[in-house]
Amino acid sequence: MTKQLHLNLFVHGRGHHETAWRHPGSTPLALTDIRYYRELAEKAEAAAFDSIFFADALAVSDEIGHVAKGGLEPITILAAIAGATSRVGLIATASTTYTEPYNLARQFASLDHISNGRVGWNIVTSWVQGAGPNFGYDAQIEHAERYERATEFVEIAEKLWDSWADDAVLDDRANGRFADTGRIRKIGHRGRWKSVAGPLNISRSPQGRPVFVQAGSSATGRSFAARFAEAVFTAHLEKQTAADFYRDIKTQAAALGRDAERILVLPGISPTIGSTEEEARRLSRELDELSDPAVGLDRLSNRFGGHDFTGLDLDRVLSPDDFPDPRTVQAAQSRAASIVELVRRERPTLRALLHGLAGARGHFAVAGTPERIADIMEDWFRSGSADGFNVMPPILPLLFDTFVDEVLPILRRRGLFRTAYEGATLRDHFGLERPESQFFPPAATAQLRAAE
Amino acid sequence: MTKQLHLNLFVHGRGHHETAWRHPGSTPLALTDIRYYRELAEKAEAAAFDSIFFADALAVSDEIGHVAKGGLEPITILAAIAGATSRVGLIATASTTYTEPYNLARQFASLDHISNGRVGWNIVTSWVQGAGPNFGYDAQIEHAERYERATEFVEIAEKLWDSWADDAVLDDRANGRFADTGRIRKIGHRGRWKSVAGPLNISRSPQGRPVFVQAGSSATGRSFAARFAEAVFTAHLEKQTAADFYRDIKTQAAALGRDAERILVLPGISPTIGSTEEEARRLSRELDELSDPAVGLDRLSNRFGGHDFTGLDLDRVLSPDDFPDPRTVQAAQSRAASIVELVRRERPTLRALLHGLAGARGHFAVAGTPERIADIMEDWFRSGSADGFNVMPPILPLLFDTFVDEVLPILRRRGLFRTAYEGATLRDHFGLERPESQFFPPAATAQLRAAE
C-alpha cells in the first residue's frame, strides 16, 4: 500500500478559533456535556480518522471571562467515549510534572484495556503559569527541570507498563493459579525525582502501553520527542518551518537508532472551508470580528513570558523589535520564534496579528475551498513536511463536518487517505509496532516455554 | 414515605469470596474487560439499587498467584459505565494519601458532569503495606498521619469544588461573556501538607461535589466519618457490633451539629443464597473447599500487621491468646478486634476461621434461603444497626442475580425497598441535600441578584 496521510481530530473548546463558542455553527451543548465529545468521537470514527485528541491545562485560564474554557478532564472523557466507539484512537494529554507516575501509568493501562488498545498519551510538562501553584509550588517549575522530570517520569511509566509479562495472567480456574508471579516483577526505581517500587497493579494492556505523543518544540522538547514520541503534534505558520522541523525530528530519531518511519510528524492545520474562496474568507472574517483585542493581547503576552504589549497601537505595522528575544521565553519557545519570524516576513499590524493568532494559537490557519485545503495538505505531505495532520477545525462541529464531507473525498480520490480502518488499535492506524516488555521480551518467553 | 433500605452493590474481583473466580457461576470475562463491570452496573440499575461501588488498592496484592486481582482502575471504570446507565449511583475509591487534591477534585467533578450527578467518592487513606513504596515513601505512612493528611485533603477538595458558583458560567454568546469571573475564585490554601491556589478548572458539578463515602472504623476513622461521610461502609461479623457502630457514628455526627439522617450506615452483607438452607450451605462449602489455607494465613497475617500465624495447627481450636492485641494494629483496627471477639465467642478452629474470612474479609457472611436473608436485613434495619446494606455477593454475577431475583421481591413486598427510582442523582437516592458552595452561598447570590 502506498503511504497515506494520518489524521487526528484535535478537540478544543467549541472549535479552535477563540470566538468559535459564540458562532451559531458551534455546538449548543455545554463544555461539560459528554454528548458533545461522544458525538465528535463518533464522527471521527465514521470518517476513519486515526484518532481524536484532547489537550489540557492544569489551571483555569485567565481568558475564561471571554473564551469558552473549563471542559471535562481528558482521561475521564476517553473512558466515557471508549464505549461509544470501537476503532478510532483516543489520545489524552496528561502531565509529567504534576501527576504521580504510578497513578498515571495505571489509568492509561486501564484506558487501553477499556478501549481494546486504542489509547495514546500526549506527554506534556504543563507550561501554563498557573499550574505550579495548584500543586504546592510557588511558581511554575522552569523549563529545563520540567524536561528532566519528564524523562525520568516516562522511564518509570515504561517500567511499570513492562512489569507484567503479556502472559502473566493464567486464570487457571481448575488448578487455582490466577497469575504466574514469576512473570510480574518489581521495578525498584530510585531516581532523582521519584522512587517507585512497582509492579503496577493492572495487567499489561492490548497495546503494551499507550502510543506516545508529544508536542515539544524547543530544542529540549525536540530531543525528548526524538527519543520517546511515536507521533508529534507541531505548530507552524508556514510550510518551510514545518519542513525544517520534520527533517530535524526524523534525523534526531534516526541518530538515536530509531526507525524514522515510526515517528509521525503531524503539524496542525486549522481550515476554514467555503465553497468559494470568498465564502471561506467571509466565514473567517466573521470569526475574527467576534474577537476581543484585550483577550488577544493577554494571550500574546503569555506566549512571550508575560511581556507587556498593551502600549502598542493596534493599527500600527509591527517590527521584530517590538518583541522580546524568543530564546528568553520559558514556555513554548518555538511558537514565540515563529511569531517573530512571521512579523519579520509579513509586517502585519498588531490587530491583524491578533486575528491570525485568534485562529489557531500559532498553528497553520487557512481559509479556502475544499480543493485548496486538499492541495495544501498534499503539498506538505509529498514535500516532506508532514506524515499527516492534526486537524483543528475552527468551529466544532460545523467545520469538522465540512472537512469530512468536502475535503476527505478529495483526499480519498487522490489515494491519500483510507476509506475504512484496516486494523483495530491506534498502533495499527499509525503503523507502529507493539513494544515488547523490557523485562519479559518474547524471545526469552519462547525459550522459557521451550525449556518447560 | 416510610423509611426504606439503601442498597449498594459492592463489586470485588469475581465476587467477594476469595475463590469465586474459580467457580462456574462467576463471570467468564477477564477482570480487565469493561463489559463485566458495565453489565453489573446495568443489572444494579435494573434493580433500582442506590449505587454500585468499586474498592481499590494502590499496590498489586501478594495473593495474586492464587486470587483474582488486578482489575481496572475505578475512576476510569465509572466514566466508562456512566454512559451505559442513567440512574444508578457510581462510587469509586480514591486515596487521600497518594493523589494530588487538584487532580482528584477535577476527575470527580468531571465524573459528576459525565454521569449527570451520580458520583460518590469513597475516601480512603490506603492502608495496604505496598502502597507507600509506589509513591516515593520507604514504607507505609502511619495511621494517624494518614488521617491528618486526609482531613486537610478533603478540606482542599471541598474548597476546589466550591470555587465556582453554580451560576459562574454565563455562556452569553451574544455579548461574548463566557463566565462571570467574579463568581470563580482562588482558594489560596496553604496547609501543613499541601498548598493549592485554585480555582479548579472545571465548573461546579450537578451534585455540587461527589457524595462522600467512608469506611474507617478505628477511633480516628470513625470521627473522620462522623465529620465528613454521607454514607459509611462498615464490616461487622454480628448484629451487636453493627448496632454499637451505628449508634456511635450517629451520635458523633449529631454532636458535630450534623443531621444524623444525612449519614447512612451501610454494613456489608455477603449472602450465599439457596432455595433451601441445605442448598445454601452446600454452595458455601463448595467455595470454602476451593480455598487455599496458605492464602488465608497470609491474609490473616496482614490483618494483624504482619503477625505470623503459620506455627498454629489448622485444626486446633483457637483462643484470643493466639492473636496480638488489636489495638497495636496499624491498618484496619476494628476488623482485627472483631476477629478476636469472634474467636473469644465461638472458639473456631484456625481452618474454620480462615474459611469464614475467605468469605467476605471480615464482613458479615451468611448462607441461607431468600426469606432468611430478607429477615436478617429487616432485623438489622428495624433494630437500628443499619440504614441499608453494602451488598457483597460471594459470586459475581451469579449471587447478585439470585439476590435480585429472590431477595429483592421479598424486601419489596415488605415495603422495605423501592420498586423504581424516584430521583435522578445519587444524592436523591440517598436522601441527601445538595451542598451549597462555602464561597457562593445561594442566599448571598439572591441578595446580589436582587441588588442588580
Note the pLDDT of residue A126: 85
Instruction: Tell me the CA distances in angstroms from A119 to A32, A50, A214, A259, B388, one per residue in order.
Output: 22, 11, 14, 21, 39
- Please check whether residue B124 touches A, CB under 8 A: no
Q: Which of B226, B205, B208, B210 is nearest to B151 (CA)?
A: B226
Note the pLDDT of residue A342: 86
Is A346 or B159 the better-scoring residue by pLDDT?
B159
Contacts of A84 in chain B (CB under 8 A): 83
pLDDT tops 80 at residue B175: yes
Which residues 6+ apart lie within 8 Å of B289 measured at CB?
Answer: none
Express each pLDDT in A152-167 by its tens digit: 999 999 999 999 999 9
Tell me whether residue A275 is annotated as binding. Answer: no
- Please check whether residue A178 touches B, CB under 8 A: yes
Q: How confident is the model at residue A295 (pLDDT cuts 50, 70, 90)?
A: confident
- Please check whether residue B134 touches A, CB under 8 A: yes
Amino acid at site B7: L
Tell me whether residue A375 is annotated as binding. Answer: no
Q: Please state the rounded mean pLDDT for residues A314-331.
A: 86
Contacts of A179 in chain B (CB under 8 A): 64-65, 69-70
pLDDT tops 60 at residue A304: yes
Nearest CA in chain A to B156: A134
Note the pLDDT of residue A296: 86
Q: A176–B66: do the CB atoms touch at under 8 Å? A: yes
Residue A15, judged by CB atoms within 10 A of its CB (0-12, 13-18, 19+), counts as buried
Instruction: Tell me the CA distances in angstroms from B253 to A44, A52, B263, one per residue in order.
Output: 51, 47, 8
> How many alpha carbons fall within 13 Å on the CB side of residue A303?
21
Note the pLDDT of residue A34: 98
Note the pLDDT of residue A386: 98
Instruction: Tell me the CA distances in angstroms from A292 to A25, A63, A298, A354, B175, one per residue in order.
Output: 19, 11, 10, 9, 11
Q: Please state the rounded mean pLDDT for residues B285-299.
A: 87
Q: Please state the rounded mean pLDDT for residues A254-264.
A: 97
Rounded-to-integer distance, Cα B196 and Cα A136, Å:
6
Q: Please state the rounded mean pLDDT for residues A32-38.
A: 98
| Distance in Å, alpha carbon of A76 to nearest chain B alpha carbon | 6
- Please check whether residue A171 touches B, CB under 8 A: yes
Which triple of cell numbers denotes residue A181?
508471579
Note the pLDDT of residue A355: 86
> How many alpha carbons fall within 13 Å on the CB side of residue A239?
13
Note the pLDDT of residue A327: 82
Helix (H), strand (E), coil (C) string for A80-137: HHHCCCCCCEEEEEEECCCCCHHHHHHHHHHHHHHCCCCEEEEEECCCCCCCHHHHCC
Q: Which of B208, B100, B114 is nearest to B164 (CA)?
A: B208
Axis crossing angle, helix B239-255 with helix B219-228, rounded to the nearest 10: 50
- Please check whether residue A86 touches B, CB under 8 A: no
DSSP 8-class letter at B362: T
pLDDT tops 80 at residue B451: no
Note the pLDDT of residue B331: 60
Q: Which of B256, B222, B226 is nearest to B241 (CA)?
A: B222
- Please check whether residue A70 touches B, CB under 8 A: yes
Note the pLDDT of residue B303: 84
Range A6-276+362-451 has CATH code 3.40.50.300: no
The total of other beta-carbon atoms located within 10 Å of residue A139's CB is 10
Express each pLDDT in A420-437 by its tens digit: 999 999 999 999 999 999
Express each pLDDT in A229-241 by its tens digit: 999 999 998 999 9
Which 261-290 residues of chain B touch chain A by CB within 8 A? Answer: 290
Rounded-to-integer distance, Cα A212 and Cα A430, Å:
11
Q: How confident is the model at residue B156 (pLDDT cuts 50, 70, 90)?
A: very high
Which residues 6+ apart lie within 8 Å of B20 measured at CB?
Answer: B13, B14, B26, B68, B287, B394, B395, B396
pLDDT tops 90 at residue A326: no
Among A323-332, B164-173, B347-356, the minimum mean pLDDT is found in A323-332
Express each pLDDT in A52-66 by its tens digit: 999 999 999 988 999
Is B108 or B334 the better-scoring residue by pLDDT?
B108
- Average pLDDT in chain A: 93
Q: Please state the rounded mean pLDDT for residues B131-135.
A: 94
Is A104 or B363 the better-scoring residue by pLDDT?
A104
Among A19-33, A292-306, B241-255, B341-355, the minimum mean pLDDT is found in A292-306
Architecture of domain B6-278+361-451: Alpha-Beta Barrel (3.20)
**Facing A134 at nearest CB: one of B169, B176, B198:** B198
pLDDT tops 90 at residue A27: yes
- B271 bridge partner residues: B366
Tell me whether residue A16 is annotated as binding. Answer: no
Domain boundaries defined on chain A: 6-276+362-451
With H, G, I as helix, E, B as strand and everything else as coil, classify residue B231: strand
CB A221 within 8 A of CB A147: yes
Q: How confident is the model at residue B359 (pLDDT cuts 50, 70, 90)?
A: confident
CB A294 within 8 A of CB A300: no
Q: Please state the rounded mean pLDDT for residues A342-353.
A: 90
- Please check whether residue B28 touches A, CB under 8 A: no
pLDDT tops 90 at residue B216: no
The total of other beta-carbon atoms located within 10 Å of residue A175's CB is 9
Nearest CA in chain B to A77: B79
Contacts of A129 in chain B (CB under 8 A): none
Express each pLDDT in A68-120 by its tens digit: 998 999 999 999 999 999 999 999 999 999 999 999 999 999 999 999 999 99
pLDDT tops 90 at residue B369: yes
CB B326 within 8 A of CB B337: yes
Note the pLDDT of residue A334: 72
Q: A102–B134: do the CB atoms touch at under 8 Å? A: yes
Express each pLDDT in A183-233 by its tens digit: 999 999 999 999 999 999 999 999 999 999 999 888 999 999 999 999 999
- Please check whether residue B191 touches A, CB under 8 A: no
Q: Please state the rounded mean pLDDT for residues B100-124.
A: 98
Q: B173–A38: do the CB atoms touch at under 8 Å? A: no
pLDDT tops 60 at residue B227: yes
For residue A286, what is the enclosing H or E element? helix A277-289
Is B206 or B129 the better-scoring residue by pLDDT?
B206
Note the pLDDT of residue B32: 98
- Please check whether residue A312 touches B, CB under 8 A: no
Percent of chain A residues past pLDDT 90, beyond the cut = 80
Contacts of A169 in chain B (CB under 8 A): 30, 70
Tell me whether residue B334 is annotated as binding. Answer: no
Note the pLDDT of residue A445: 60
CA quadruple A144, A146, A148, A152: dihedral, nearest 10 = -170
Note the pLDDT of residue B444: 63
pLDDT tops 70 at residue A1: no
Which triple of cell numbers denotes residue B83?
454512559
pLDDT tops 60 at residue B274: yes
- Average pLDDT in chain B: 93
Note the pLDDT of residue B383: 97
Tell me whether residue B147 is annotated as binding. Answer: yes
Q: How is B91-148 classified by DSSP, letter by letter?
A: EEEEESSSS-HHHHHHHHHHHHHHTTS-EEEEEE----TTTGGGGT-SSPPPHHHHHH
Contacts of A33 in chain B (CB under 8 A): 113
Note the pLDDT of residue A447: 65
CB B309 within 8 A of CB B350: yes
Rounded-to-integer distance, Cα A276 and Cα A263, Å:
36
Q: B290–A59: do the CB atoms touch at under 8 Å? A: no
CB A74 within 8 A of CB A145: no
What ipTM was assigned to the predicted interfaces of this complex? 0.93
Rounded-to-integer distance, Cα B202 and Cα B208, Å:
12
Q: How confident is the model at residue B446 (pLDDT cuts 50, 70, 90)?
A: low
Express each pLDDT in A433-446 by its tens digit: 999 999 998 766 66
Q: Please state the rounded mean pLDDT for residues A143-156.
A: 95
DSSP 8-class letter at A140: P
Percent of chain B residues past pLDDT 90, beyond the cut = 80
- Please check whether residue B294 touches A, CB under 8 A: no
Q: How is A385-448 classified by DSSP, letter by letter?
A: S-SEEEE--SSTBHHHHHIIIIIHHHHHHTT-S-SS-S-SSHHHHHT-PPPPPSSS-HHHHHHH
Q: Please state the rounded mean pLDDT for residues B108-133.
A: 94
For residue A271, what is the enclosing H or E element? strand A264-273
Tell me whether residue A445 is annotated as binding. Answer: no
**CB–CB contacts below 8 A, A to B:** 209
Which triple of cell numbers denotes residue B365?
457472611
pLDDT tops 80 at residue B239: yes
With H, G, I as helix, E, B as strand and everything else as coil, classify residue A159: helix
The total of other beta-carbon atoms located within 10 Å of residue B73's CB is 24
**Pairing state between β A388-391 and A264-273:** parallel
Note the pLDDT of residue A237: 87
